[in-house]
């Protein structure tokens, strides 16, 4: 770590901020990139955004892989009726009857959060709600799940996909956020904000697209966490150079306030990946290496006891509000 005078792109503080060296460890090129952590707002950010940033997202990058799923109209109709009760507390009697014919899937995000609960926290009140998923790649598991639930106004946006995509009621558009029009009741950024170069513009545009009573959900890694303090440059979520910004809770709140928005709820989202991924990097094993637990899910790299400990550590940092991942619920200031 060294000190070098830089201007923070979040709070505009110019100072000799401490610097760190991030190593490309998803694909194992081990190319090095300088980051600095703002002395004022604590945001960790890449010092110089690569001009060829797109080259670090090859065609097999996981968010760009297109997933094909089969539709079952009868099953989807029944599921819609069941979710109608779960989300809006309507149709209890018919839901009771249908429960004998088909079980309702949980639809869990990252093994932690039930989508129904996220929707209730976002005050979605009917099936006419409009959804936007920013930076979703070719396919959005989030939007696909909402489609099965019965929602129909489902849009994703990603400038890096080859062309516009349509799967049932889900439309994925190849365009930049600045080119999008309309209003949306729930806008989501599932681990996409950290990849975007102009943070202030992005949140400002999202704010303009948000309906009066709408909710913006942002899920990000954060340096206000146990894992950052423990692993520093070996932290798997550093993901140099793709993760351009790793916010502190102070810096993300500042960014949100700058767009005249406010955070009204925060959920810790730590999972075992934060720990085993970082331990892999300590052993110089990149994420897509043939030995990688992330790739193989076997117990060759870590013992069953170690894997159990990683899950326990994730649960512990969630309880202590020291998670390396957080989910933020955001709305317009009243």
CB neighbours of residue 259 within 10 Å: 21
pLDDT at position 78 is 47
* 23 or 53, higher pLDDT: 23
pLDDT tens readout for residues 170-218: 999 999 999 999 999 999 999 999 999 999 999 999 999 999 999 999 9
pLDDT tens readout for residues 76-100: 544 444 454 455 444 444 444 434 4
Question: If you average pLDDT over residues 242-250, what whole number do you get?
Answer: 98
Range of the domain at 193: 2-332
Question: If you average pLDDT over residues 241-252, what whole number do you get?
Answer: 98
Question: If you average pLDDT over residues 310-333, what whole number do you get?
Answer: 97
CB neighbours of residue 12 within 10 Å: 10
pLDDT tens readout for residues 37-57: 999 999 999 999 999 888 888
**Residue 209 and residue 187 in contact, taking contact as beta carbons nearer than 8 Å:** yes
pTM, two decimal places: 0.85
pLDDT at 105 over 80: no
**Number of domains into which the chain is organized:** 1
Burial of residue 109 (number of CB atoms within 10 Å: 0-12, 13-18, 19+): middle
CA nearest 38: which of 22, 57, 60, 15? 15
Strand-pair partners of 2: 19
Confidence grade of residue 234 (pLDDT, cut at 50, 70, 90): very high
* 289 or 109, higher pLDDT: 289
Question: If you average pLDDT over residues 315-329, what whole number do you get?
Answer: 97
Q: Could you tell me what percent of the chain has a pLDDT over 70?
A: 82
> Residue 112: which CATH number?
3.40.50.150
pLDDT at position 279 is 97
């Amino acid at each position: 770590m060294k000190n070098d005078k830089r201007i923070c792109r979040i709070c505009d503080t110019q100072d000799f901020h401490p610097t760190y060296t991030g190593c490309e460890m998803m694909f194992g090129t081990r190319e090095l990139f300088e980051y600095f952590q703002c002395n004022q707002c604590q945001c960790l950010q890449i010092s110089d955004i690569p001009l060829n940033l797109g080259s670090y997202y090859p065609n097999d990058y996981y968010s760009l892989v297109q997933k094909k799923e089969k539709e079952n109209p009868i099953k989807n109709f029944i599921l819609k009726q069941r979710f109608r009760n779960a989300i809006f507390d309507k149709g209890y009697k018919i839901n009771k009857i249908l429960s004998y014919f088909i079980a309702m899937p949980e639809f869990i995000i990252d093994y932690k959060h039930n989508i129904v609960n996220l929707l209730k926290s976002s005050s979605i009140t009917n099936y006419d709600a409009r959804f936007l998923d920013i930076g979703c790649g070719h396919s959005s598991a989030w939007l696909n799940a909402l489609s099965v639930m019965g929602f129909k106004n489902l849009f994703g946006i990603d400038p890096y996909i080859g062309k516009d995509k349509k799967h049932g009621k889900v439309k994925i558009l190849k365009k930049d956020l600045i080119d999008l029009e309309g209003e949306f009741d729930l806008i989501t950024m599932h681990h996409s904000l950290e990849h975007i170069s102009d943070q202030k513009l992005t949140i400002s545009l999202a704010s303009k697209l948000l309906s009066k009573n709408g909710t913006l959900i942002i899920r990000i890694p954060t340096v206000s966490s146990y894992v950052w303090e423990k692993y520093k440059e070996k932290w798997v979520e550093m993901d140099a150079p793709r993760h351009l910004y790793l916010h502190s809770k102070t810096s993300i709140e500042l960014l949100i306030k700058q767009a005249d928005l406010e955070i009204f709820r925060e959920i810790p989202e730590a999972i075992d990946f934060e720990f085993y991924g970082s331990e892999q990097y300590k052993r110089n094993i990149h994420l897509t290496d043939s030995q990688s637990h992330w790739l193989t899910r076997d117990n060759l790299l870590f013992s069953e006891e170690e894997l159990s400990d990683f899950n326990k550590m994730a649960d512990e940092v969630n309880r202590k509000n020291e998670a390396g991942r957080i989910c933020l619920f955001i709305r317009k200031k009243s």
